[in-house]
A and B are shown apart, each in its own frame.
Chain A
Amino acid sequence: MKRRRIAVDTVIYIFLTLLCILWLLPFFWLIMQSFRSEPGQFIETFLPKSYTLDNYVRLFTETNVINFSRMFLNTLVIAVCTCIISTFFVLSVSFCTSRLKFPFRRPYMNTALVLNLFPGFMSMIAVYFILKALGLTEGDMIPLALIIVFSAGSGTQFYVMKGYMDTIPRALDEAAAIDGCTKWQIFTRITLPLCKPMIVYQVVTSFMAPFVDFIFARIIVRAEAKYYTVSIGLWSMLEREYVWDWYTRFCDGAVLVSVPVAVLFIVTQKYYREAMSGSVKG
């Protein structure tokens, strides 16, 4: 019996190790390519023949064609604003739907469910036309348009947060109400501090959205290279006319974007798991 268990365990260990190698191989390859000194998209061997740091330096110093540092800054500004707005929206809506009873609560929740079923890209063109009619698609207004696009839908993304708030005992609210707290005070002094783990999760996910999305950004920004976000920039490095020169720098950019996002994710993984299990209970 024991021998059999050890045999099974060994097989599982080998399997898991192989799987993990398979899982990490593309990323390992990407990182190696980012240090490659040979130009072009395709090379003969799995690993580069020689390595250099030059690609990284050139990514930030050669700014006449694709200005990566500006793209990074653009994205950072948009991400911070988006993060503040959508966290505030999600917290407000989840507090109201979880804690309060008001006339349009049910209709609002049902509408949100239905809206979530519509594919996001379906109305993308319409959103673009609306932003254009408001004059937000030209020049310096483009970042504002992007912030609106990334945070506009957050009013429907409250189910996970609401599920978490539902687990906070109502007795706390009632006790606070007896002590003379207004609802605002209950919201800011009791509910919010208790939701801290989920707020971290919410902040991180909404902060990452502008970094990882490129479809919406591409529709809004179009050819205005000055307002590119990193993801559009990376995408354009793979366009036919750039790919030969820029492929290794694309790898650099990809690494530079992925590392912070991945670190943020691993740090907040605990909260993420909590959020996922919360959504099942809800």
Chain B
Amino acid sequence: MLNEKTRLPGGKMLGTGESRMMLLQAFSRGGPVIWASALLMGLGNLVSGQILKGSLFLIIETAFLIFFFMKDGGLARIAALPSLGDRAQGEVWNEEKGIFEYIEGDRSQLILLYGIAAVFVCVLFVFIWRASVISGAEALSARRAGGSPSSFSDDIRELFDNRIHRLLMFLPSAFLLVFTVLPLVYMMSMAFTDFSREGDRLVLFDWVGLRNFTSVFNASSIVGKQFWQVLLWTLVWAFFATFLNFIFGTLLAMMINRPSIRLKGLWRTVLATTIAVPQFVSLMVIRSMLQPQGIINRLLQNGALIASPLPFLTDTAFARALVIIVNLWIGIPYTILQVTGVLNNIPKEQYDATKVDGCNAFQTFMNVTVPYMMFVLTPYLITQFTGNINNFNVIYLLTRGEPITVGNSAGDTDLLITWLYKLSVDQQKYNLAAVIGILTFIVLSAVALITYNNSRSYKNEEGFK
């Protein structure tokens, strides 16, 4: 049945059942039984006859308490977080047996992971605890009102109806929590440690506060110099990659869109091959074509156009121009796909107006087409820009970040993201990698927020109608 909630103003969504009690309400209305249920979870449900649900809560509480207080349990894990362990592995003299015994030392990396995971479990438990108190109070108030609280099978049925969001969201959220949020927190916390191959801190490491951040920001240190250089190149790259793709893609889409041009589908499909072929294949092929003995240099030399091979991948300027150009090859088809639909929506009157004013084709393009597209496609451009900041494939598969100056850990075409990858996977400087990751995130969210807030499509949603 439709109830009141289906007609909520603004929301226009089907409601999900009766309004829920809040925690404080539950305590004030529930009385002593509910107060007790704060300590003994599920009591409220048990007293009012929801035996299964009540015992389930009780079992969860028992399990949590055992987890929390057992040896090496949650409490111990969290307590170990501040020190991150200090027992080095090695041999210890055992007086009784009269021998050296090998002891496995602490592994800070695991202590950190288990500690954070234990904190997660505790937070999760607090949510379950809150739900149990509220559920108990609701059951109790239903019983007091003379009715009977919902049975367990009712609850299951509700799970497929009004509370279906719990059923459907449970697994995706759980996966997200364990394999996305937990690793992110874990990785971010590494930024405040000295977990690195440098100084042999891979097994045992300590908190170092903001030291990593200051060394990255300090432009006179080795890491700092590279950081600013990589950051600058990342922004330059993202700018060119985004806007050149956008402009050329729009021009091409307009050409194909001309009423008199035939075979529109064919042109679009052929150009879309670079989307269809996996990037690691197409980029690795291009990479091998551009080698000093690769086919492009061979052909140029055979044609006597050049004397010695062009340093496509070994010269900084060449390599930087190259990644931007090759990215056009990969990226333009996306723009065409995206732009084609929008082009047809540009109001014809605007074109007529430019004709009256005597604009040439270029002026029309710059003054009507581009502004309109920018307006409509701002969200798309933002995602493209942030996507390019994170464009791992094009850089890593094409140049691997090279050319690289001896002694540096970042090459001249490395983006923040590829540098991060090298720092963690190849060089095992996890603390620096984590700092770079956090900074990348800050750059990304700043770009997204600023452009989003300044874009006209956000300020003036009614502007183009």
User: Residues of A at under 8 Å CB distance from B?
Assistant: 5, 9, 12-13, 15-16, 19-20, 23-24, 26-27, 29-30, 41-46, 89, 92-93, 95-96, 99-105, 108, 112, 114-115, 117-127, 129-130, 133, 148-149, 151-156, 170, 173-174, 177-178, 182-184, 187, 208, 211-212, 214-215, 219, 231, 234-235, 238, 247, 254, 257-258, 261-262, 265-266, 269, 272-273, 276-277, 279-280
Q: Chain A's nearest CB lies how many Å from the CB of B92?
A: 26
Whether A100 lies near B178 (C-beta < 8 A) is no
Name which residue of chain B comes closest to A134, CB basis: B178
- For A155, list chain B residues within 8 Å (CB): 172-173, 175-176, 180
Whether B165 lies near A102 (C-beta < 8 A) is yes
- Cα of A111 to Cα of B256 in the assembled complex, Å: 40
With A93-B172, A183-B160 known, 20 other A-B pairs at CB within 8 A are A29-B285, A30-B285, A42-B291, A42-B293, A96-B165, A96-B169, A119-B390, A119-B417, A122-B437, A123-B437, A130-B182, A133-B110, A133-B114, A148-B175, A148-B179, A152-B180, A156-B176, A182-B164, A212-B279, A238-B284
- For A151, list chain B residues within 8 Å (CB): 175
Whether B392 lies near A280 (C-beta < 8 A) is no
Whether B269 lies near A266 (C-beta < 8 A) is yes
- Cα of A170 to Cα of B13 in the assembled complex, Å: 8
Whether A234 lies near B255 (C-beta < 8 A) is no
Interface string of B263-290 (1 = CB under 8 A from A): 0000101111111111111101110110
- Cα of A101 to Cα of B445 in the assembled complex, Å: 27
- Cα of A9 to Cα of B260 in the assembled complex, Å: 7
- Cα of A184 to Cα of B181 in the assembled complex, Å: 28
Q: Is B16 an interface residue (CB 8 A)?
A: yes
9 contacting pairs across A/B (C-beta < 8 A): A30-B285, A101-B5, A108-B169, A119-B441, A122-B420, A152-B180, A177-B14, A183-B160, A208-B278
Whether B377 lies near A280 (C-beta < 8 A) is yes
- For B380, list chain A residues within 8 Å (CB): 279-280
Q: Which of B172, B277, B338 interacts with A261 by CB under 8 Å? A: B277
Q: Is B430 an interface residue (CB 8 A)?
A: yes
Whether B444 lies near A26 (C-beta < 8 A) is no
Whether A16 lies near B341 (C-beta < 8 A) is no
Q: Which of B11, B430, B437 interacts with A119 by CB under 8 Å? A: B437
- Cα of A121 to Cα of B393 in the assembled complex, Å: 12
Name which residue of chain B comes closest to A159, CB basis: B383
Whether A20 lies near B270 (C-beta < 8 A) is yes
- Cα of A153 to Cα of B172 in the assembled complex, Å: 8
- Name, among A92, A105, A238, A272, the residue most crowded by chain B CB atoms within 10 Å (CB to CB): A92
Whether A183 lies near B261 (C-beta < 8 A) is no
Q: A119-B441, A133-B113, A177-B14 are in contact. Are A266 and B276 (CB under 8 A)?
A: yes
Interface string of B166-198 (1 = CB under 8 A from A): 011101110110111111101100100000000
- Cα of A265 to Cα of B275 in the assembled complex, Å: 8
- For A148, list chain B residues within 8 Å (CB): 175, 179
Q: A93-B169, A261-B278 are in contact. Are A276 and B337 (CB under 8 A)?
A: yes
Q: Which of A96, A130, A257 interacts with B281 by CB under 8 Å? A: A257
Q: Chain B's nearest CB lies how many Å from the CB of A132?
A: 9
Q: Chain B's nearest CB lies how many Å from the CB of A136?
A: 11
User: Residues of B at under 8 Å CB distance from A?
Assistant: 1-2, 5-6, 8, 11-16, 20, 109-110, 113-114, 157, 160-162, 164-165, 167-169, 171-173, 175-176, 178-184, 186-187, 190, 252, 255-256, 258, 260-261, 267, 269-282, 284-286, 288-289, 291, 293-295, 298-299, 302, 329, 337-338, 340-342, 376-377, 379-380, 386, 390, 392, 396, 416-417, 420-421, 424-425, 430, 433-434, 437, 440-441, 444-445, 448
- For A12, list chain B residues within 8 Å (CB): 255, 258, 261
- For A15, list chain B residues within 8 Å (CB): 255
Name which residue of chain A comes closest to B396, CB basis: A215
- Cα of A177 to Cα of B187 in the assembled complex, Å: 46
Q: Chain A's nearest CB lies how many Å from the CB of B278?
A: 4
- Cα of A125 to Cα of B428 in the assembled complex, Å: 10
- Cα of A117 to Cα of B380 in the assembled complex, Å: 14
Whether A27 lies near B282 (C-beta < 8 A) is yes
Whether A118 lies near B441 (C-beta < 8 A) is yes
Q: A101-B15, A119-B437, A276-B338 are in contact. Are A234 and B161 (CB under 8 A)?
A: no
Q: A20-B267, A125-B425, A235-B280 are in contact. Are A174 and B2 (CB under 8 A)?
A: yes
Whether A273 lies near B179 (C-beta < 8 A) is no
- Cα of A158 to Cα of B448 in the assembled complex, Å: 19
Nearest first, the 10 closest Cβ-Cβ pairs linking A and B are A152-B179, A155-B172, A126-B183, A122-B437, A123-B183, A92-B168, A262-B276, A265-B276, A212-B278, A182-B161
- For A212, list chain B residues within 8 Å (CB): 278-280
Q: Chain B's nearest CB lies how many Å from the CB of A184?
A: 4
- For B329, list chain A residues within 8 Å (CB): 23
- For A46, list chain B residues within 8 Å (CB): 295, 299
- For B340, list chain A residues within 8 Å (CB): 273
Q: Chain B's nearest CB lies how many Å from the CB of A138?
A: 16
Whether B14 lies near A129 (C-beta < 8 A) is no
- Cα of A88 to Cα of B220 in the assembled complex, Å: 51
- Cα of A115 to Cα of B177 in the assembled complex, Å: 11
- Cα of A114 to Cα of B294 in the assembled complex, Å: 42
- Cα of A93 to Cα of B433 in the assembled complex, Å: 32
Whether B169 lies near A92 (C-beta < 8 A) is yes
- Cα of A131 to Cα of B180 in the assembled complex, Å: 12
Q: Which of B113, B162, B289 interacts with A130 by CB under 8 Å? A: B113
Q: Which of A24, A29, A114, A231 interacts with B289 by CB under 8 Å? A: A29
Whether B186 lies near A27 (C-beta < 8 A) is no
- Cα of A120 to Cα of B15 in the assembled complex, Å: 35
Q: Chain B's nearest CB lies how many Å from the CB of A240?
A: 13
Q: Chain A's nearest CB lies how many Å from the CB of B111?
A: 11
- Cα of A154 to Cα of B372 in the assembled complex, Å: 33
- For B445, list chain A residues within 8 Å (CB): 114, 117
Whether A100 lies near B14 (C-beta < 8 A) is yes
Whether B267 lies near A129 (C-beta < 8 A) is no
Whether A23 lies near B273 (C-beta < 8 A) is yes
- For A153, list chain B residues within 8 Å (CB): 176, 179-180
Whether B430 lies near A262 (C-beta < 8 A) is no
